[in-house]
């Protein structure tokens, strides 16, 4: 089986579009992963800070048992913040996993877009060549 000139060009163009799509998808993946990692570090530092606050609250609660004091209010808010940061960290871990599956989607979409652009250029060149003759 022999391929025509246009088919050979199409196969070569498709083969060249694969590394371009890989780089494009990898670039998007790394950018998203970097953003998620930065958010995770911020939430983790806040989570550790509220851990320290809660440990101080436990020590203070043993010394003075006042359920309506300012210390109690601060400790309640710290506990709420601690729970919130734990949920946000879990959500960011889930987002990391979703980012890995998005890589495949971005790769296939990039391959599709690059090849559609190539097809459009080829059709435009064929159109202009027909009109010139």
DSSP letters spanning 8-38: HHHHHHHHHHHHHHHHHHHHHHHHHHHHHHH
| d(C-alpha 90, C-alpha 85), whole Å | 9
Task: Report, as an integer, the average pLDDT of 74-78.
Answer: 85
User: How do residues 33-70 score in pLDDT, each as one tens digit?
Assistant: 999 999 999 999 999 999 898 888 888 777 776 666 66
* pLDDT score for 42: 94
The answer to whether 85 touches 47, Cβ cutoff 8 Å, is yes
Task: Report, as an integer, the average pLDDT of 64-81.
Answer: 78
| d(C-alpha 54, C-alpha 74), whole Å | 9
The answer to whether 75 touches 53, Cβ cutoff 8 Å, is yes
Strand, coil or helix: 46 = helix
| d(C-alpha 38, C-alpha 30), whole Å | 12
User: How do residues 7-42 score in pLDDT, each as one tens digit?
Assistant: 888 889 999 999 999 999 999 999 999 999 999 999
pTM over 0.85? The answer is no
Place 120 in a pLDDT band, splitting at 50, 70 and 90: very high
């Amino acid at each position: 089986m022999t391929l025509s000139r246009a088919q050979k060009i199409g196969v070569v163009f498709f083969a060249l579009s694969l590394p371009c799509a890989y780089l494009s998808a990898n670039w998007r993946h790394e950018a998203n992963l970097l953003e998620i990692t930065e958010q995770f570090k911020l939430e983790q530092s806040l989570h550790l800070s509220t851990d320290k606050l809660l440990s101080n609250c436990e020590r203070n609660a043993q010394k003075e048992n006042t359920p309506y004091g300012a210390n109690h209010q601060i400790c309640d808010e710290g506990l709420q913040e601690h729970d919130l940061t734990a949920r946000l960290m879990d959500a960011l871990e889930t987002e990391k996993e979703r980012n890995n599956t998005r890589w495949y989607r971005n790769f296939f979409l990039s391959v599709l877009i690059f090849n559609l652009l190539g097809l459009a250029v080829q059709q435009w060149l064929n159109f202009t060549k027909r009109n010139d003759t």
